[in-house]
Amino acid sequence: MGKKRRGRERLENCSSCGRAVPRDKAVEYSKRTHFTTDMKGNDNVTYTEFKDLYYCISCAKHRGIFEKKKQQARRKRERDMYG
């Protein structure tokens, strides 16, 4: 049989402290990097990259990512409920 891990999640390393955290327990945060040359004309080059970062619960709480996600979910629920 193959090397499937039934019943066990893949481990992700925390981007802040390096702790190994199961993927379902880790907080996923999409970071956007945006570079531009700010030239007026046709030579303007824009580059946007999205990078998925994984944080353990304690680092996400310390950086304020975890609470922001909860607030965003609450705001989205209220928006869906009222129209």
pLDDT of residue 75 exceeding 80, the answer is yes
State whether residue 59 is helix, strand or coil.
helix
State whether residue 79 is helix, strand or coil.
helix
Residue closest to 29 by CA, chosen among 18, 14, 17, 19: 14
Distance in angstroms (rounded) separating the CA atoms of residues 35 and 38: 9
DSSP notation for 16-43: TT--EEETTTSEEEEEEEEEE---SSTT
Residue 50: both structure tokens together: 């999205």
Predicted confidence (pLDDT) per residue in 34-61, tens digit: 888 877 777 788 889 999 999 999 999 8
pLDDT at 38 (0 to 100):
77
